[in-house]
Structures are given as C-alpha cells and as structure tokens.
Amino acid sequence: EIVLTQSPGTLSLSPGERATLSCRASQIVTSAYLAWYQQKPGQVPRLLIYGASTRATGIPDRFSGSGSRTDFTLTISRLEPEDFAVYYCQQYSSTPRTFGQGTRVEIK
Amino acid sequence: QVQLVESGGGVVQPGRSLGLACEASGFTLRTWPMHWVRQAPGKGLDWVSAVSPDGKNQYYADSVKGRFTVSRDNSKNMVYLQMNSLRPEDTAVYYCARQAGAFDVWGQGTMVTVSS
C-alpha cells in the first residue's frame, strides 16, 4: 500500500498570498498518477489536478501541480477567499487508492 | 448532467447490515470503474472499495474485506455496497465516485451511523 503524507497539516495564509502544499509517497507513484482534491465544509470533494499537473475542467489557472515519483506539490499562486479549504492528494497508480490525510488552508 | 446519487444510509446497530446504492445519470455507467470512498466525521477521505466496469472484479480496503461487497447493475445504472457486520468505526459519509483515472465525479454522499 502506498502511504501518502501531506504537509503541513495546516497552512495559515492571507488572501493574495501563495500556498505551497506537499504530498510525499512511501513508494514511487508510477506514471505520475497523482491527483489533488479540494473539499470545503459540508461539500463533496472536487477534483483539481490529475496526472500530477493537469488541471481538471473548470479549475482556475492559479492552481498548479508538479512533481514526480515520490514528491508532489500543489501550488495556489494567489489565494482567493473561496480557496480556503482542505486539500487532499490521492494516488491512483495502485490499489488501494490511498489518500493523504489532508492539508487545511485557513485564513490568517 | 453527469450525476451520482447515493441512498440507503441510516442508523444501524453494531453487527447488523446495511445496503447502499448509487444511481448514475448523464453518462454510460458500463464504461467506467466505480469506487466507494468514506469520510468519518471530522476526518479525511478513506478509500473503501472499487468495481470494474463489467462487475467481474472487485477490490476492497483491508478494513472492510470480508464484510463489505460491491456490485453493479449496468442495465439499471446502479452501483451497490452491501455492508455486513458493521462496526462503530464504519460510521461515515459514504460517497460513490467515478474513476476517470482520478475520481472526477462524486455523489453527494449518504451518512451511515453505527451505534447501539
């Protein structure tokens, strides 16, 4: 089983600032089959990034993903008020399809 | 409109059974692998189970293996999760999700509470 470890647990930032979220895998994630999801309170998870760096349909270009093998990053270039949420990484290169524990991005 | 709608959640005693259903609309279910993901109150996302497009292959998290059974009826656009021998730690919102590589479509979830 691939274990995903996200850091930091909580990120306290102001609107307009840059957010950098990390996801580290215990084994190589083949073919960069790594996704990022956003979840706001009381809402369903929403796919942001797949294939480590490809934005899903309708996702603003302030969201970007990068990385390969075991180290992946989600960057939000300038935080908008609606971006404060919990973000999860997920690998889909092997079963079980594991998720990281999440990073909360909160308003400072 | 592509949509998944779960149903069947509720309150159940430990050791009892419950069946969840997920109805798909707006797309051809039979071409997509489908998954169940759960989220305990205040916790993160936890992958539970998956079923191949033709229903012949099923996959389970170790925590539910031997207790949960996933199935599908493509003719009815339905995916199911039968949960037996439920435990308090199975308490969660259960989501079904479509696999397009990553999980691109999610249902709104159905709450399962296991409590005496």
Mean pLDDT in residue range A6-16: 97
Interface test with B, best of A4, A31, A47 (most B CBs within 10 A): A47
- Would you state the pLDDT for residue A84? 96
Instruction: Return the HEC string of A27-87.
Output: CCCHHHCEEEEEECCCCCCEEEEECCCEECCCCCCCEEEEEECCEEEEEECCCCHHHCCEE
Tokens of B75: 């003719």
pLDDT given at position B20: 98
Q: What is the largest CA-CA distance in chain B?
A: 40
Where residue A22 falls among pLDDT bands split at 50, 70, 90? very high
pLDDT at A56: 97
Question: CB–CB of B95 and A90 under 8 A?
Answer: no
Least Cα separation, residue B11 to chain A (angstroms): 20
Residue A106's pLDDT is what?
97
Q: pLDDT band for position A31 (50/70/90)?
A: confident
Residues of chain A contacting B101 with CB distance shorter than 8 Å: 33, 35, 50-51, 92
A88 touches chain B (CB under 8 A): yes
Residues of chain B with pLDDT under 70: none
Residue A107 Cα distances to A10, A12, A81, A84, angstroms: 10, 6, 8, 7
Distance from CA of B7 to the nearest CA of A (A): 15
- Res A74: pLDDT: 98
Per-residue pLDDT averaged across A48-63, rounded? 97
Helix (H) or strand (E) holding A91: strand A86-91
B106 contacts A96? CB cut-off 8 A: no
What is the secondary structure of B44-107 as a DSSP string? -EEEEEEE-TTS--EEE-TTTTTTEEEEEEGGGTEEEEEE-S--GGG-EEEEEEEEESEEEEE-
B-chain residues near A98 (CB < 8 A): 47
Instruction: Check pLDDT > 90 for residue A90.
Output: yes
Q: Are A73 and A65 in contact (CB under 8 A)?
A: yes
pLDDT band at A92 (very low <50, low <70, confident <90, very high): very high
Q: Count contacts between A and B (CB, < 8 Å).
A: 57
Q: How far is the C-alpha of B33 from the C-alpha of B102, rounded, in Å?
A: 11
Chain A residues whose CB is inside 8 A of the B27 CB are none
3-class state of residue B29 by DSSP:
helix
The closest alpha carbon to A40, from A82, A95, A96, belongs to: A82
The answer to whether A77 faces chain B, any CB pair under 8 Å, is no
